[in-house]
């Protein structure tokens, strides 16, 4: 296979960017400490399932813009709709007509909910859901699964991570954690804080669930846990929030709550719903959402999301075009078929190299992940970084998760499997001799670390 070795412009970019932008990027998970030294520092453009770096190197894209690009980069039917909207202007003093069109369209997909509010970021909508729950219940505490990776850049979530500098302890104390998919640990939390928890928030399922997380529900896990957790929360007087930021338009169309007929009070949406454009949404039961309204004369007003750019028309148009493509082509079925093929082909390649004990392919067809272990069976960030380095050298931008999109083809999966086959020859040697012999630079580091 080809070898990518020229990172000249990337190295120059890396040498200046940290003087200009703290972290060198606007998202920590896009930062230099999340990639090997031999990697692109910045992307110049993308088309379909491919991206090009600033040195002109071309890569098969696997993470797809932090999972946000569900159809493909620069996907023409979305661009067409966006261009048409851009030509009409993007921001007005009163709402644009397109806000009603989107509200009616999106809510028609989510029969559980009657009202919707838009935003530009996922963190904005999860934080808005938390605020609504506090306003509705008059309680302070928010419960989330402490073993899940991310819910918001706001203090209610970040205060509970090791990376909590700048968040007062009083704020961190208002969030409490339970173990994901573990109803007993959630029940314990309600017993520990009687009458104090305003809401439970959780992702409805995670790709790791594809492995069977060892919980007593087995394959029924996401659905039964969600049903029992909602019942428990409601019995305890708390609201239940489902965060479909990652699962939305991936596990199902529009998401897991519709797949399983789950009835949370509030649900948050983002990432893949507008093919990478900045459009996110909070949907919910009318009675709760109406708290953010202005027509109940005499009622106390709750200041819900209110921002200059929340109704930006071209991003809403991108969302409408994305929804239309998902409906026209059954995109979810395509993406799942690609995910299935990815799982099968890579398991074959791994078995051929005798590495089935060291590399797991988690069978979540909507977003398969690979987990790399060392000779002692411990998950190894050094080996994962080495795999990233070797895959990048062969033209594949891969960090461990493969996010199927409508532009990925079976040929792309074959290309990936071929690159993985060659990479595993290095992996076998690294298992014996240590990854340090083969990795240039440092292993990637956790985003949420206390000390740099």
Ligand X SMILES: Cc1ncc(COP(=O)(O)O)c(C=O)c1O
Q: What minimum distance in Å lies between the beta carbon of 206 and ligand X? A: 9
- Is the Cβ of residue 152 or residue 196 nearer to ligand X in the bound state? 152
Take residue 168 and report the two structure tokens written for it.
Answer: 């007062």
Integer angstrom CA distances of residue 94 from 90, 306, 425:
12, 13, 60
Supply the minimum distance, in Å, between the C-beta of residue 147 and ligand X. Answer: 13
Q: Closest CB to ligand X among 75 and 157?
A: 157
To ligand X, the closest distance from the beta carbon of 212 in angstroms equals: 21
CB 35, min distance to ligand X, A: 17
Q: How far is the CB of 260 from ligand X (least distance, A)?
A: 17
In whole angstroms, the minimum distance from the beta carbon of 125 to ligand X comes to: 8
Question: What residues does 65 pair with on adjacent strands?
Answer: none
18: β partners: none
Please report how close the Cβ of residue 314 comes to ligand X at its closest, in angstroms.
Answer: 18
Nearer to ligand X, 403 or 430 (CB): 403
Q: Which residue has the tokens 């492995």?
A: 211
Burial of 323 (0-12, 13-18, 19+ CB in 10 A): buried
User: Which parts of this chain interact with ligand X (CB under 6 A)?
Assistant: 121-123, 126, 150-152, 203, 243, 245-246, 270
Which lies closer to ligand X via its Cβ, residue 175 or residue 346? 175
CA atoms of 306 and 104, how far apart (whole Å): 20
Q: Shortest approach of ligand X to residue 93 CB, angstroms? A: 27
Instruction: CB nearer to ligand X: give 368 or 421.
Output: 368
CB of 100 to ligand X, least distance (A): 24
Q: Report in angstroms how near the CB of residue 215 gets to ligand X at its nearest.
A: 19
Distance CA 286, CA 291 (A): 9
Specify whether the CB–CB gap between 92 and 287 falls below 8 A.
no
Q: Which is nearer to ligand X, 127 or 313 (CB)?
A: 127
Looking at the DSSP bridge assignments, the partners of residue 61 are 397
Closer of 283 and 346 to ligand X (Cβ): 283
Residue in the shown chain whose Cβ atom is closest to ligand X: 122
- The structure tokens listed for 296 are 């109940």
Given the complex with ligand X, which of 152 and 256 has the nearer CB atom? 152
Nearer to ligand X (CB atom), residue 147 or residue 374: 147
Residue (247 or 313) nearer to ligand X, CB? 247
**In whole angstroms, how close is the CB of 268 to ligand X at the nearest point?**
7
Closest Cα partner for 401 from 10, 4, 34?
Answer: 34
**CB of 122 or CB of 310, closer to ligand X:** 122
């Amino acid at each position: 296979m080809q070898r990518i070795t020229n990172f000249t412009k990337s190295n120059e970019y890396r040498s200046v960017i940290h003087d200009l932008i703290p972290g060198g990027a606007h998202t920590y998970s896009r930062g230099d400490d999340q990639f090997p030294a031999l990697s692109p520092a910045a992307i110049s453009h993308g088309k379909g399932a491919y991206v090009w770096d600033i040195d002109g190197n071309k890569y098969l894209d696997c993470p797809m813009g932090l999972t946000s690009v569900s159809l493909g980069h620069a996907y023409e039917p979305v661009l067409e709709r966006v261009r048409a909207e851009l030509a009409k202007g993007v921001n007005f003093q009163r709402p644009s007509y397109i806000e009603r069109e989107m509200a009616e369209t999106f809510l028609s997909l989510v029969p559980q909910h009657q009202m919707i509010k838009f935003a530009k970021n996922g963190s904005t909508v999860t934080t808005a859901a938390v605020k609504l729950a506090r306003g509705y219940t008059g309680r302070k505490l928010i419960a989330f699964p402490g073993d899940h990776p991310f819910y918001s850049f706001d203090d209610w979530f970040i205060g509970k991570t090791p990376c909590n500098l700048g968040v007062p302890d009083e704020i961190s104390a208002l969030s409490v954690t339970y173990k994901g998919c573990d109803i007993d640990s959630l029940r314990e939390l309600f017993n520990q804080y009687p009458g104090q928890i305003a809401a439970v928030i959780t992702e409805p399922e995670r790709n790791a669930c594809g492995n069977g997380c060892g919980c007593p529900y087995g394959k029924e896990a996401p659905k039964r846990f969600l049903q029992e957790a909602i019942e428990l929360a409601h019995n305890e007087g708390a609201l239940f929030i489902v965060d479909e930021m990652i699962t939305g338009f991936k596990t199902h169309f529009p998401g897991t709550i519709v797949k399983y007929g789950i009835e949370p009070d509030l649900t948050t949406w983002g990432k893949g719903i507008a093919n990478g454009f900045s459009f996110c949404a909070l949907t919910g039961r009318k009675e709760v959402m109406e708290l953010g309204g202005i027509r109940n004369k005499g009622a106390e007003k709750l200041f819900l999301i209110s921002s200059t750019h929340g109704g930006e028309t071209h991003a809403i148009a991108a969302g409408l075009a994305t929804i239309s493509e998902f409906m026209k082509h059954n995109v979810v079925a395509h993406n799942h078929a690609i995910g299935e093929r990815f799982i099968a082909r890579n398991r074959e390649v791994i078995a051929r190299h005798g590495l089935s004990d060291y590399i797991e392919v988690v069978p979540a067809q909507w977003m398969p992940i690979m987990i790399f272990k060392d000779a002692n069976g411990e998950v190894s960030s050094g080996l994962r970084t080495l795999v990233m380095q070797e895959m990048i050298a062969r033209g594949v931008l891969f960090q461990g998760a493969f996010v199927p999109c409508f532009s990925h083809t079976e040929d792309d999966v074959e290309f990936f499997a071929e690159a993985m086959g060659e990479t595993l020859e290095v992996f076998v040697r690294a298992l014996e001799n240590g990854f340090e012999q083969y990795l240039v630079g440092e292993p990637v580091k956790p985003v949420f670390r206390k000390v740099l």
